[in-house]
Structure 1
Amino acid sequence: MLIHDWDGLTDYERKRADMLANEGYNVLAADMFGQGIRPTSIEENKRLTGELYDDRNKMRRILQGALNAGRLEGNDVRNGTTMGYCFGGTVALELARSGFPQKAFVPFHGAFDTPTGQSYDKTTGEILVFHGSADQSVSLESFATLGKTLEAAKVPHEMVTYSGAPHAFSVFGSDRYDARADERSWKRYLDFLADEYK
């Protein structure tokens, strides 16, 4: 399952889904905001994501709905991997904390704070994190704290940082795009999937 950034499900995520499909994977691109809801301003982005950050139960219900849709299409969603970009990476970690059984959870430049009252004690899959060292939105301290949290919870994990890479480094066409970090993280992700599903 692929989860979009705070712009909603756009051509960027569709392109990434196509790239994975071309590698032979079934991909469900989940829409966390709802059909046709696409923010057109920073204020709308903040409102839509904020509503879900403030109501984690709603976030989890939407995720369950997406997973159910994937299951109805004949996919073994419990044998899946959930990845996400920025906001979507944060959502992928929410699914990991929920205890839903999957092989892996993979945030690309997501946020790493663990909400009060939550933990990774029920996490069943591995966590693979890609982060830019020059990310001004999510600090390296937050990245390190996630590593300590996962280690304490005995969750298998791999965490990679890319020097000079800003937040949203993988979004091709944007002024934050970092080709080196994008290409390396994508290659590592494909290698990871190949190992998980061999």
Structure 2
Amino acid sequence: MHSTLEAIAAGAAALVLAGGAAQAQIRTEAVVYEIDGVAYEGFLAVNEGFDEDRPLVLVIHDWDGLGAYEERRATMLAERGYAAFAVDLYGRGVRPTTTEESRAESGKLYADRAAMRARLAAALETAGMQDGVDPEAAAVIGYCFGGAAVLEFARAGADLDAFVSFHGGLQAPEGATWDAMRGDLLVLHGSADPVSGMEDVAALAATLNEAEIDYRMEIYGGARHSFTVWGSGDYEPEADLQSWDAMLRFLDERLR
């Protein structure tokens, strides 16, 4: 009996050590880069346990800027074997702390889509130059404001294999087209989202159908706007987990 218990204990200890070793392979670091002389600071997460470079996934932040949430999502992607780069669209040190500040910073880019596209392109270029990254297999995901940025990057014709919007702003600027779209699109949205409601979902689907874009949508019944954001009043754990799994399947199909 003692020998059996000792063997079980030894096996459990080995699993703990192995898990710790695997976690230790995740390299995270801040990456400072410049756009037109202005500094930006992204966040890179790579699993160094692999010998070869890993497929790249850009992560675009919500309207409150790059923070712990996006860094955790990037690390979760690295744990799944991707190289993840959390994008900074506002500039180094620009991290809104109030609703008013968040609205002001995101509003600047909603009003200047060319600047949004330029910053996204620069982030993609920067991410592709990092150690451990395979820029030839790449995707982008984004949350809320970041989801709107994902759609803008898709319309810009970004050379990516996959685009994923989590509860993003779905309204397009006047005159926007999907003629330059490359790659495939996944839209993950709550049916009770007060920011972009079901009428916006239907309008986007109609536009994508007309443009003959390859896309998928998953709608989570009763989920409100920020259903993936831990600690928010809108958080829905089932919708969070289901949408994350849907994204992983989508990325695996297109990047592996």
Q: Please classify the TM superposition score into its range, dividing by the shorter chain length.
A: over 0.9
Check conservation: 1:77, 1:102, Cα contact below 8 A.
no
- Between structure 1 and structure 2, the one with the greater Rg is 2
Amino acid at match of 2:253: D
> In 2, distance between residues paired with 1:31 and 1:78?
21
Deviations for 1:126-149, whole angstroms, at most 9, x for unmatched residues?
Answer: 110000001111110101111111
> In 2, distance between residues paired with 1:100 and 1:178?
31
Structure 2 match to 1:60: 117
User: Relative to structure 1, is the Cα distance of residues 95 and 77 closer, same or farther in structure 2, using a 3 angstrom cutoff?
Assistant: farther
Q: Following superposition, which runs of at least 4 residues in structure 1 exceed 6 angstroms of deviation? A: none
2:158 to 93, 100, 103: 100
Give the CA deviation at 1:78: 5.0
Structure 1, gaps ≥5 residues long: none
Specify the SS of the correspondent of 1:79.
strand
Structure 1 match to 2:194: 136
The residue correspondences of 1:34-53 to structure 2 (distance < 5 A) are 34-53=91-110
> In 1, distance between residues paired with 2:211 and 2:190?
24
> In 1, distance between residues paired with 2:254 and 2:120?
22
Give the CA deviation at 1:112: 1.0
Give the CA deviation at 1:77: 3.5
Structure 1 match to 2:173: 115
> In 2, distance between residues paired with 1:170 and 1:156?
24
Give the CA deviation at 1:150: 0.8
Structure 1 match to 2:128: 71
User: Relative to structure 1, is the Cα distance of residues 78 and 57 closer, same or farther in structure 2, using a 3 angstrom cutoff?
Assistant: farther
Amino-acid identity (%): 44
Structure 2, gaps ≥5 residues long: 1-57
Structure 2 match to 1:17: 74
1:187 to 245, 248, 253: 245
Structure 2 match to 1:84: 142
TM-score relative to the length of structure 2? 0.75
1:30 aligned onto 2:97:
no
Give the CA deviation at 1:154: 0.9
* Bigger strand fraction: 2
Structure 2 match to 1:171: 229
Structure 1 match to 2:3: none
Q: What is the RMSD computed on CA atoms of the aligned residues?
A: 1.1
Check conservation: 1:78, 1:101, Cα contact below 8 A.
no
Check conservation: 1:84, 1:92, Cα contact below 8 A.
yes
> In 2, distance between residues paired with 1:42 and 1:124?
34
Amino acid at match of 1:43: E
Structure 2 match to 1:125: 183
TM-score relative to the length of structure 1? 0.97
Check conservation: 1:2, 1:27, Cα contact below 8 A.
yes
1:147 to 199, 205, 213: 205
> In 2, distance between residues paired with 1:59 and 1:4?
13
Specify the SS of the correspondent of 1:130.
strand
Structure 1 match to 2:45: none
Amino acid at match of 2:234: R
> In 1, distance between residues paired with 2:248 and 2:137?
16
1:162 aligned onto 2:220:
yes
